[in-house]
Amino acid sequence: MQFRESQAIYLQIADYVCEKILLKEWKVEERIPSVRELAVQLEVNPNTVMRTYEFLQQQEIIYNQRGIGYFVSPPALKNAQSYRRNDFVEKDLPQVFRTMFLLGMDPEELKPRFEKYKKQNFA
């Protein structure tokens, strides 16, 4: 995994986990990789993954079963979506708006493109 974005690594890992959940690759009540497994896979310090998991527990996206591991919590989809949505609106959207403004684009222009994109990738 490449960490190019400007966000702290533990938050980028949180995004990664949210994406797995939103794409339903990791399902509700299923066990997710352990701290160590994810640290090895992403080549990061296990303490960083630990911090991500603590953060995601606070957001009620995952929960810990002592001695067994971490699981996707029942309200995870809703919570992951609202967490990511806030983040997107606050951080990514201003960038998009800035570019649209510079290029003289109207939000209406985006609608057919968005529909086409959904059909191509997630239909």
Partner 1 sequence: MIQIQNLHFGYRKKKIFTGLSLKLEAGHIYGLLGKNGTGKSTLLRNMAGLLFPKEGNVSVLGFNPAKRQPAFLRDIFMVPEEFFMPDMPVDYLVKYTAPFYPKFNEEQFNRYVTEFDIPRSNSMQQMSYGQKKKVLISFGLACNTSVLLMDEPTNGLDIMSKSQFRKVIAGCLDENKCIVISTHQVKDLESLIDRVTIIDEGRILFDQTVDNITRKLSFHVSYDIDEIKQALYREPSLRGSAVITRNTQGDESKMDLELLYKAIVLNGNAIESVFNA
Q: Which residues bind partner 1 (CB under 8 A)?
A: 3, 5-12, 36, 39-48, 51
Q: Which is nearer to partner 1, 45 or 82 (CB)?
A: 45
State the first-to-last Cα distance of the chain, in angstroms, to the nearest integer.
27
CA dist., res. 18 & res. 24, Å (int):
10
Q: Which is nearer to partner 1, 6 or 58 (CB)?
A: 6
**Least distance from C-beta 42 to partner 1, angstroms?**
8
Residue bearing tokens 């959940």: 21
**Least distance from C-beta 8 to partner 1, angstroms?**
4
| Residue 20 near residue 72, CB atoms below 8 Å | no
Q: Which is nearer to partner 1, 11 or 100 (CB)?
A: 11
Structure tokens at 107: 């939000």
